[in-house]
């Protein structure tokens, strides 16, 4: 499923060009008019909310088509097992790398002492306290209060569970099930049609998000916490280049070429700080690059709850930074225990702005008695969390993209010849044309009925 373009489009017709222009303009407005810019966050929120409208039904439909479309529950089970094993391995590696770097660099010991402000942490701690943590809390969070609440509450992991149950039921329905799969496929195409329209607002969202960030926080707060931010960004880059680079090479493709292929999505995430904003586009792009539809339909949505590599790096680095900054020594044994705890806690975090901070607060509260790290220390990084959310989200998106291709290759559901062809020439795939084609097919089906 791919579209071959007849020629290279002018740069001004590419979405990434306008997103990049918007990011530059947003930064300029933030520096020149900080007061007005600090009130522009609603533009980014508007765009992200528009995308989130279609996220749940898109995941629901693609999961059902992916699993039921395999036609063999044993095969679907094998795919799910490989996906979970890979994601668990990658998130463990991300947590470990964050832990190693923060212990080596020790950003919490750099510069002057930072005074705690408990009031700044109140909202985050209350959000963290509203949900159970640990294994029990994670298991309970998988089950929605009702079928509909999984969609209305915005809990992607619950939508995932409901979709898997429906897919298993549909797979055993024979011919009737085939009609359901066809209907879900049509629904997914409708959602892709909507997302094509919504993406025209991506530059506006990027402009508002960057303008707000620069205007709200300026450069003052960055001075004291520059070491943490720099260490975090460097660690994310290290994880992407080294860990994901090696994994991609083993799977038979170039990471750098893959990053070039998804540059539009990376820039959109940079501007909006939300990996959810590109989920539908990633589904289309990976399938167009040669990954089997059934594999992509399961791995990408699952990755948004189970493979948050950037969030995992943030969790361990944030926790140990707080310990260092508040003068608490944490033994290696306790740090390993915290890592294992966060391995579970991170699985329920959604790929949206703020989720990493709440998950960190929840982990600190649940582990405070064992680690001696004060949960109120979350106040130290509340102010710069927004600056680190871009790196979290970008790392999450890249990790999920690479992971889907790796699992597809492992599942023998990857056309490597097509993948290498597309990575060598990304212009072979035009996402807008693919989405438009899907929309046209949906209209034909609707007209036939």
Nearest Cα residue to 264 out of 45, 20, 2 = 20
Residue with the two structure tokens 């995932």: 160
Write the burial class of residue 418 (CB in 10 Å: 0-12 exposed, 13-18 middle, 19+ buried). middle
**410 exposure class (CB count in 10 Å sphere: 0-12, 13-18, 19+):** middle
- Chain Cα centroid distance, residue 396: 4
- What domains sit in the chain, N to C, each tagged with a CATH number? 14-448 (1.10.3860.10)
CA dist., res. 286 & res. 291, Å (int): 6
pLDDT at res. 4: 43
Q: How does DSSP assign 293-346, residue by residue?
A: HHHHHHHHHHHHHH--HHHHHHHHHHHHHHHHHTT----HHHHHHHHHHHHHHG
Question: Quick one: DSSP state of residue 241?
Answer: I
DSSP 3-state of 414: strand
Query: Rounded CA gap, 29 and 32, in Å?
Result: 5
Which residues of the chain register pLDDT less than 70? 1-9, 12, 16, 69-76, 109-138, 154-156, 217-225, 344-358, 362, 365-372, 375-377, 379-380, 382-386, 432, 435-449
Distance, in Å, from the CA atom of 449 to the CA atom of 396, rounded to the nearest integer, reads 40
Q: In which residue are the tokens 């600190």 written?
A: 364
Cβ–Cβ contacts within 10 Å for residue 352, how many?
A: 21
Sign of CA dihedral 317, 323, 329, 335: negative
d(CA 150, CA 142): 9
DSSP 253: S
Q: Which residues are within 8 A (CB) of 443 and not within 5 positions of it... i.e. 6 or more apart?
A: none
Helical axes 41-68 vs 279-288, angle rounded to 10°: 50
Model's pTM, two decimal places? Answer: 0.69
For residue 442, what are its two tokens? 């949906």
- Measuring CA to CA, which residue among 317, 389, 346 is closest to residue 138? 346
DSSP state of 430: -
Q: Which helix (H) or strand (E) holds 36?
A: helix 34-37
Residue 419 tokens read as 């993948």
- Nearest partner of 116 among 273, 283, 327, judged by Cα: 327
DSSP state, residue 10: P
């Amino acid at each position: 499923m791919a579209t071959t373009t007849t020629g290279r489009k002018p740069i001004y017709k590419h979405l990434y060009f306008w997103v990049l222009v918007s990011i530059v303009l947003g930064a300029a407005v933030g520096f020149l008019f900080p007061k007005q810019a600090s009130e522009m966050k609603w533009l980014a929120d508007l765009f992200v909310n528009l995308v989130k409208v279609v996220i749940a039904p898109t995941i629901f439909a693609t999961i059902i088509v992916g699993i039921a479309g395999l036609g063999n529950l044993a095969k679907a089970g094998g795919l799910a097992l490989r996906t979970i094993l890979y994601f668990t391995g990658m998130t463990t590696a991300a947590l470990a790398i964050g832990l190693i770097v923060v212990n080596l660099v020790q950003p919490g010991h750099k510069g002057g002492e930072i005074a705690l402000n408990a009031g700044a942490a109140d909202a985050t701690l209350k959000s963290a306290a509203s949900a159970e943590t640990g294994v029990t809390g994670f298991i309970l969070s998988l089950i929605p209060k009702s079928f509909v609440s999984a969609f209305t509450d915005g809990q992607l992991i619950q939508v995932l569970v409901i979709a898997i149950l429906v897919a298993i039921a549909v797979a055993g329905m024979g011919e009737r099930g085939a009609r359901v799969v066809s209907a879900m496929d049509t629904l997914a195409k409708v959602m892709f049609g909507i997302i094509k329209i919504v993406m025209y607002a991506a530059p506006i969202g990027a402009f508002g998000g960057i303008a707000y960030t620069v205007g709200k926080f300026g450069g003052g707060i960055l001075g004291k916490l520059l070491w943490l931010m720099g260490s975090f960004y460097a660690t994310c880059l290290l994880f992407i280049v080294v860990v994901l680079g090696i994994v991609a090479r083993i799977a038979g493709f170039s990471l750098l070429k893959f990053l070039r292929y998804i540059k539009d999505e990376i820039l959109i995430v940079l501007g909006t700080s939300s990996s959810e904003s590109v989920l539908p586009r990633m589904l289309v792009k990976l399938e167009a690059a040669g990954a089997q539809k059934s594999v992509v339909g399961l791995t990408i949505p699952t990755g948004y709850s189970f493979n948050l590599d950037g969030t995992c790096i943030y969790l361990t680095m944030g926790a140990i930074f707080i310990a260092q900054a508040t003068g608490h020594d944490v033994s290696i044994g306790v740090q390993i225990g915290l890592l294992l705890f966060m391995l579970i806690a991170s699985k329920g975090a959604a790929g949206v702005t703020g989720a990493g901070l709440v998950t960190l607060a929840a982990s600190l509260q649940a582990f405070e008695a064992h680690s001696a790290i004060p949960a109120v220390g979350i106040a130290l990084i509340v102010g710069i969390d927004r600056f680190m959310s871009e790196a979290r989200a970008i790392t999450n998106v890249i990790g999920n993209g690479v992971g889907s291709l790796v699992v597809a290759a492992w599942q023998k559901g990857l056309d490597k010849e097509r993948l290498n062809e597309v990575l060598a020439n990304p212009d072979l795939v035009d996402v807008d044309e693919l989405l438009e084609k899907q929309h046209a097919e949906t209209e034909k089906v609707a007209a036939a009925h």
